[in-house]
Amino acid sequence: MHRLTFLTNQYLAAGVLKHPSSQLSRKALSVSCCVQAVTPQTQGFVEQPGLKRFSTAEATVAATENGKVREKTLTMETLNPQVKAVEYAVRGPIVIKAGEIERELQQSKKKPFTEVIKANIGDAHAMGQQPITFLRQVVALCSCPELLDSPLFPEDAKLRARRILQGCGGQSIGSYSASQGVECIRKDVAAYVEQRDQGVPSSWENIFLTTGASDGIMSILKLLVSGEGPSRTGVMIPIPQYPLYSAAIAELDAVQVNYYLDEDNCWALDINELHRALQAAKKYCNPRVLCIINPGNPTGQVQSRKCIEDVLHFAYEEKLFVLSDEVYQDNIYSPECQFHSFKKVLYEMGPEYFNNVELASFHSTSKGYTGDSAPPRPAPPAPWLLEPPFLTAPPPPSFFQVWFQRGYMEVLNLDPDVQAQLIKLLSVRLCPPVLGQAAMDVIVNPPSSSEASHAQFIKEKKAVLGALAEKAKLTEQTLNTVPGIKCNPVQGAMYAFPQLFIPAKAVEQAKKLGMAPDMFYCLRLLEETGICVVPGSGFGQKEGTYHFRMTILPSIEKLKLLLEKVQAFHLKFLKEYRDPEEPSK
């Protein structure tokens, strides 16, 4: 009864009910002595003795009649304009459409294909890539320390897990770490970097563990972006680019400065193009940042050592902060190519460069040969883990999907006071999930040649990278047999970015529909074949050229099917739209 009186007073205050002295209000009060309940039999609402809940619709109507509707605080007009400016093509309209088609297929709606093949994103495990057993074992042991006494796990995995747990508060993976990450893991990262770069010194105090490379890139950009009008920070990014950069620049209200990669020279970075872009940008902003993606995404190129040296010399002369995105450093397929870290090349250029150029480099567990980027899932009961099948095969992905998308960044020549500000900024999000930090530790501290798990680890790693190299070659060769498609060698990373010839009639049709020509092409490809790729316009491209990005991650069998479908579709598309007198490119 007290509850009823309280609610009645609330409705009176809100204007939903008029004063009890009125006849209308008495009627409303009598109605309010009911509740709506759902019964399994009726699957609907029935009135029972008690208090009625006003539905949102009823309350809105009543409030409207009494002039009590409050305008929304957050509308498209009041929304942060930087959020509206953010675009992310990798999960854009094409992917939304692919999801709709998948639901239609599940509802047995007839299509000219039986499945949607999503080649839009570098989600390795979704494409069937097998997890690395040692990584999953260490993470399982960290998650469930009771398993450290089990004979079913190798001793080297237990050794890693014990070291990580000892570095955690309360020796629990569920504790917070320092904002920069668990100290012993940061030391392992520094040792890995030093070994990778053949002795170039690396301080663990300059290592920051992150929630994937994207988190680190965003943190550094937040430090760098400032100013208004012509003094706003300009960020130089490669075109084509990974949409993280354009999205981050838009969100932070910085200025995007495009420099174009040389498609005719296998997407090489031309130093003259950097000079052109910089000088043009100085007229409307203050260029302070130079972003490099090596190996390239979406273009798949691997930059030469000479190119990297030229870029670093340019950054030194122009006083630019360098962001080196190196998340695909393990994914090198072409025998003629070799990964060179920007830090190593900088060191080899001498003390004048190594002690002055400000550099932040990034790496991640979600790429490379591990491909672990799964979201968190509930942990299973420990007894299940003790069953013998755990020994004979990698743990089931659906079971061990924990939050692995982790990375690190190393900063070089950051002002000490600025570095303190970076730590403060990172402390706002407390720390990266510690389980992901454990996964990162396995990447930088794998089994050594003297340890029990080494042979299996190397076998699995080579199998993944060998398959990717085979698929990179297959993709390039197959696409280049299709008239009107030109594909540069996929030297590294996980993607091909072929150029398309789109006939003038198709370009005109796309304009009528209000979409970019390559969006029109990719949408038709999806609707007619079930192949989901991303239009090149989502990554940036030279005016008058058209591309799409596709991942090379599907299995060989599925990739062959995908390429066959692309070939057949493209020939059909040309036949439909090409003017016989139109010259071929």
Buried b (16+ CB within 10 A) or exposed e, 382-391: eeebeeeebe
So what's the pLDDT on residue 3? 44
Q: What are phi and psi of 40, to 5 degrees?
A: -60, -30
Query: Which of 562, 569, 577, 570 has the alpha carbon at shortest distance from 120?
Result: 562
Within 8 A by CB and 6+ apart from 503, the residues are 574, 577, 578, 579, 582
So what's the pLDDT on residue 284? 94
Burial class for 34, CB neighbours closer than 10 Å (0-12, 13-18, 19+): middle
So what's the pLDDT on residue 216? 86
Cα 486 to its chain centre, rounded Å, is: 27
pLDDT, the chain, mean: 81
DSSP symbols for 288-347: EEEEEESS-TTT-----HHHHHHHHHHHHHHT-EEEEE-TTTT-B--TT-----HHHHHH
So what's the pLDDT on residue 173? 73
So what's the pLDDT on residue 50? 53
Rounded Cα distance, 326 and 342, in Å: 9
Rounded Cα distance, 445 and 199, in Å: 16
Question: 83 in helix, strand or coil?
Answer: helix
Q: Which residues of the chain have pLDDT under 50?
A: 1-47, 374-404
So what's the pLDDT on residue 563? 97
DSSP symbols for 333-401: --TT-----HHHHHHHT-HHHHTT--EEEEEESSSTTT---PPP-PPPPHHHHTSTHHHHSPPPHHHH-
So what's the pLDDT on residue 52? 54
Q: Which residues pair with 215 in a beta bridge?
A: none
Q: Is residue 169 within 8 Å of 178, Cβ to Cβ? A: no
Cα 49 to its chain centre, rounded Å, is: 53
Buried b (16+ CB within 10 A) or exposed e, 286-307: bbbbbbbbbbbbbbbbbbbeeb
Rounded Cα distance, 79 and 73, in Å: 9
User: Angle, to 10 degrees, between the axis of helix 212-224 and the axis of helix 416-427?
Assistant: 130
Rounded Cα distance, 215 and 432, in Å: 10
pTM: 0.78
DSSP symbols for 217-258: HHHHHHHH---SGGGSEEEEEEES--HHHHHHHHHTT-EEEE
So what's the pLDDT on residue 16? 40
Cβ count within 10 A of residue 194: 15
So what's the pLDDT on residue 435? 75
Rounded Cα distance, 580 and 568, in Å: 19
Query: Which of 555, 466, 522 has the alpha carbon at shortest distance from 124?
Result: 555
Q: State the distance between the two ends of the chain, measured CA to CA, in whole angstroms.
A: 81
Backbone dihedral region for residue 350 (phi beyond 0: left; psi -120 to 50: alpha; all else: beta): left
What is the residue type of 15? G
H/E element holding 56? helix 56-65
DSSP state of 198: T
User: Angle, to 10 degrees, between the axis of helix 434-444 and the axis of helix 133-143?
Assistant: 140
User: Angle, to 10 degrees, between the axis of helix 155-166 and the axis of helix 133-143?
Assistant: 50
Counting every residue written for the chain, the total comes to: 585
User: For residue 294, what are the CA distances in angstroms to 147, 281, 345, 373?
Assistant: 40, 23, 13, 20
